[in-house]
Amino acid sequence: MVIERPYLLFLGDAKDALAAKTGQGIVDWRPDAVVGQLRLPGCGADLRVAELSVREAAALGAKTLVIGAVNPGGVLPAAWLTPIIEAVRAGLDVASGLHTRLTSLRDVSDAAKRCGRRLIDVRQPVGSFHTASGRKRTGQRLLTVGTDCAVGKKYAALAIERELRRRGVCADFRASGQTGILIAGSGIAIDAVVADFAAGAAEALSPDNAADHWDVVEGQGSLFHPSFAGVSLALLHGTQPDAFVVCHEPTRQTMRNVETPIASIEDVIEHTVALGRLTNADIRCVGIALNTALLSSVHAADAIAETRRTFGLPACDPLRDGVADIVDALLA
């Protein structure tokens, strides 16, 4: 499943920048994939790209209208239907990561059938998967893992892909969640796959490749999150990473949406190695990515320096400092 480019990013009446985070992620990490944005009256977000109507975007070659905003509950508001149907009629596919499926919306679905356009619900895995084989594949793989959900695994992986490419190394970001899929234009929402096939889906996500090629795989959840550890382990086994980076948010006290205390970086390294060895005997930790968005720059620098000292590994905030040190260790 590939989402065709370039995109027109639809922000609807998103109330602020946070609600348009998906659109912002696409602009930040795949600027070449974007022709512009389409906003409704009252929209409080602005991606600072060309303001286009559906017709103007189509004339500029836009292939897909991407829903780049969320609204409370993940439901698609009625006011968004008209521009979505207009996009379909103008010859665009539509891609969405919202809970409400595009294919469940009668008028949208009818219009897409009539116009021969695709409705892409990235939360819904496409096709069927095999159970994982555990067979070692060619090429190299890096997985970002976490002490919790929502600690920056996706952006760490995207920063590593960018730094590898900057150095002339062949690398592909592999998306395992809906926002990552919209950014990358393809991928598999691993947590939406039936449990029996989750590791098999992770194998399909990072197939055989050239010996010097790196797949940089977006992690999910945490081995220590009581809701999602099974997903994390399936992704670890299926990805069979040669290298991993631990992502951590230093102010977090408890895991997201549960009362479980946050896991330690040390425990995550130890168990990722112990369990990851099953499908890759040479697995190693190459660095730690701290998400210091909630810290001042002074406190962030302190936290990063202390992490580096404690673990004897490269540490950085990918969004503040880039990931050059981690990539140095990866390629050493």
Identify the three-state secondary structure at position 63: coil
Residue 244: strand, helix, or coil? strand
CB of residue 110 to its own copies, shortest distance in Å:
27
**Pick from 49, 115, 275, 324: which binds its own copies (CB under 8 A)?**
275
Q: If binding is defined by CB under 8 A, does position 191 make contact with its own copies?
A: yes
Query: How many angstroms separate the CA atoms of 83 and 194, rounded?
Result: 34
Q: How far is the CB of 271 from its own copies (least distance, A)?
A: 7
Which of 190, 205, 288, 300 forms a contact with its own copies (CB under 8 A)? 190
Among 28, 51, 107, 196, binds its own copies (CB under 8 A): 196
Geometric angle at alpha carbon 201, from 169 and 179, rounded to 5°: 65
**β-strand partners of 174:** 217
The amino acid that residue 230 corresponds to is G
Query: Are 144 and 247 a contacting pair, CB within 8 Å?
Result: yes
Under the binding rule (CB under 8 A), the answer on residue 124 touching its own copies is no
| Residues 247-266, mask of contacts with its own copies (x by CB under 8 A) | --------x-xxxx------
Which lies closer to its own copies via its Cβ, residue 36 or residue 276? Answer: 276
From the list 20-28, 55-63, 185-193, 320-328, the region that binds its own copies by CB under 8 A is 185-193
Q: For residue 131, which amino acid is it?
A: T
User: What is the full DSSP assignment across 279-328?
Assistant: T-TT-EEEEEEE--TTS-HHHHHHHHHHHHHHHTS-EE-HHHH-SHHHHH
Between 164 and 235, whose beta carbon lies closer to its own copies?
235
| Residues at the contact surface with its own copies, assessed by CB under 8 A | 131-135, 190-196, 198-200, 223-224, 226-235, 237-238, 255, 257-260, 271, 274-275, 278-279
